[in-house]
Structure 1
């Protein structure tokens, strides 16, 4: 009994340590933290969320983030699935080394490639656009997508492919009708990680959005000034958490099944 109580107490303390900053963020987002006419500091109000809706730059930053994150996830899965299938089903000299090379590229610090990427994207006219951020995020997230999808495809027996081909399916038909439903948990895990890595990335978001196309991370950073409206910052932070929480809810079953399968 004492051991159960001890573990329960440790769990409560750990949960409180993790959730306390989130709870404080949520509470402050509903408070007026600057002097305003007809409103005292600390008063509960929706003024911060109304200010977000009334600011075109903040609204645009939310839309920009949703655009480039969605494009990043779609590109990573669309390009990673055929590559992962090829690496899983076909053998060639250096195939395993190629997988490790992909992982080594992923752990390269993004700031090392910031200058050449900026020059390349500037010449291509992709600076200050959500598409540019999506492409550079795909460059770094694609190795992770290939690694995750390759492991899930390798868990599917080769006889599954052969049976579908004997039934007359082409490779695209097999991928769409049979393989994708079979590895849906892996696709859910891949989408989750690609979304998270892209949503919280700030290095390329800062470099590639000099005058326009700023994502929500840069919009929050721009709110800090000599007299920062903490309530507005916290409200934007809460808004930035909503898509991530929504994605986790949407793919929660796939994520749970995915980690169970790979375990």
Structure 2
């Protein structure tokens, strides 16, 4: 029992180190850091959260972020599932090398491709649009989705496919009725990582939203001025955490099962 005390103390210290900034953020989000009508500086109130919904720019940033992140996840899954199935079930010259090249492209610094992507998207009218951000995020997240889904599909025996086809299922019917339920944990893992990578990305969100369509990350950055309302910044930070927490809640079982399956 005594031997466990240092371990317990270390875990408590680690938890405090991780949770203390979050606790301070939550406290500041309910604190008026600047004087407002009817609210004195330092008073605990909901003024910061009310100011979020009173600002059209901040409300638009929340909506823009949700639109492009959800669109990015949908595109990655729709395009990644057939590609992952092809890599898992068929063999062609250079298939492993091609998959490796896609993963290598994912680790390319985004700033290297920022100028050509901006010029290309400007020609197609995709600048200052959440759709443009979703497409460029899909470009970087799709290799991760394919890599995750391919490993889960490869773990499913080929007899599973053959049995479904012998029963008269078409390829789309097999995907919808058999394959997707069988690899639901993998889809949850892929969706989670695509969501997180897209939600926290800043480079393309800054470059592709010059005047309009700004996401929540750029809205928070714009709040830092000569006289910054840190309470409002912390309130927006809390709002930026909520979709990620909701995503974790909805796919928590799939993520847990997915990692257990692969181990």
TM-score, length-scaled by structure 2 = 0.99
Question: 1:95 maps to which residue?
Answer: 95
Question: 1:121 maps to which residue?
Answer: 121
Alpha-carbon distance in 2 for matches of 1:187, 1:12:
34
Question: 1:160 maps to which residue?
Answer: 160
Question: 1:104 maps to which residue?
Answer: 104
Alpha-carbon distance in 2 for matches of 1:105, 1:195:
19
Alpha-carbon distance in 1 for matches of 2:74, 2:37:
46
Alignment of structure 1 residues 33-44 onto 2, 5 Å: 33-44=33-44
Question: 2:199 maps to which residue?
Answer: 199
Alpha-carbon distance in 2 for matches of 1:16, 1:118:
42
**Does structure 1 residue 235 correspond to structure 2 residue 235?**
yes
Alpha-carbon distance in 1 for matches of 2:125, 2:36:
42
Alpha-carbon distance in 2 for matches of 1:32, 1:139:
41
Question: 1:9 maps to which residue?
Answer: 9
- How far off is 1:224 after superposition? 0.2
Alignment of structure 1 residues 52-201 onto 2, 5 Å: 52-201=52-201
Q: How big is each residue's C-alpha offset from its partner over 1:170-225, in whole Å with a ceiling of 9 and x where there is no partner?
A: 11110110000000000000000000000000000000000000000000000000
* Uncovered stretches (5+) of structure 2, i.e. residues with no partner: none
- How far off is 1:35 after superposition? 2.2
Question: What RMSD over aligned residues (CA atoms) do the two structures have, in Å?
Answer: 0.7
- How far off is 1:3 after superposition? 2.4
Q: How big is each residue's C-alpha offset from its partner over 1:74-120, in whole Å with a ceiling of 9 and x where there is no partner?
A: 00000000000000000011111111111100000000000000000
Alpha-carbon distance in 1 for matches of 2:185, 2:68:
23
- Local SS of the residue matching 1:178: helix
* Uncovered stretches (5+) of structure 1, i.e. residues with no partner: none
